[in-house]
Amino acid sequence: MAVQQDGKGGVSAEISFEDFAKVDVRVGTIIDAQPFPEARRPAIKLWVDLGEEIGVKKSSAQITVHYDPGHLVGKQVAAVVNFPPRQIGKFMSEVLVLGFPDAEGEVVLVTADQPVPNGGRLY
């Protein structure tokens, strides 16, 4: 089985449940969204409320094709909260907001289909 490296095509190599459990995916609500014109690729700066335990974290997301900053506030999204922070230009991205590619490869955010408490862990 081929190992998936670029998010397109084949299935990734098999992992154990313990490997999966190391990735901490939580739900949070976007409380602020701002254009990020300084980014090399079009992006939006997000501030995501991930509940009392984690707090508000920042993320740079390349989601400009389907999303406008003005319409993102209040949207619940899934995010990986235990990757190390990553410097994107002058902005420190603290969590990775998750999405799936549409038919053209553009990001569609992973969301809950019903409201859930911020900070809930994926299982």
Decide which of 9 and 116 is more confident: 116
Predicted local confidence at residue 50, as pLDDT: 98
Mean pLDDT of 115-123: 96
Average pLDDT, the chain: 93
In tens, the pLDDT along 35-87 reads 999 989 999 999 999 999 999 999 999 999 999 999 999 999 999 999 999 99
Helix (H) or strand (E) holding 28: strand 25-35
Q: Which fold has domain 24-109?
A: OB fold (Dihydrolipoamide Acetyltransferase, E2P) (2.40.50)
**What are residue 101's DSSP bridge partners?**
107
- Nearest alpha-carbon partner for 78 in 57, 105, 64, 53: 57
Residue 7: CA atoms inside 13 Å, Cβ hemisphere, count?
8
The one-letter amino acid at 93: S
Predicted local confidence at residue 114, as pLDDT: 96
Helices (H) and strands (E) in the chain, counts: 2, 9
Predicted local confidence at residue 7, as pLDDT: 56
- Nearest alpha-carbon partner for 14 in 3, 27, 25: 3
Predicted local confidence at residue 10, as pLDDT: 86
Would you kindly state where each structural domain of the chain is located, as residue ranges?
24-109
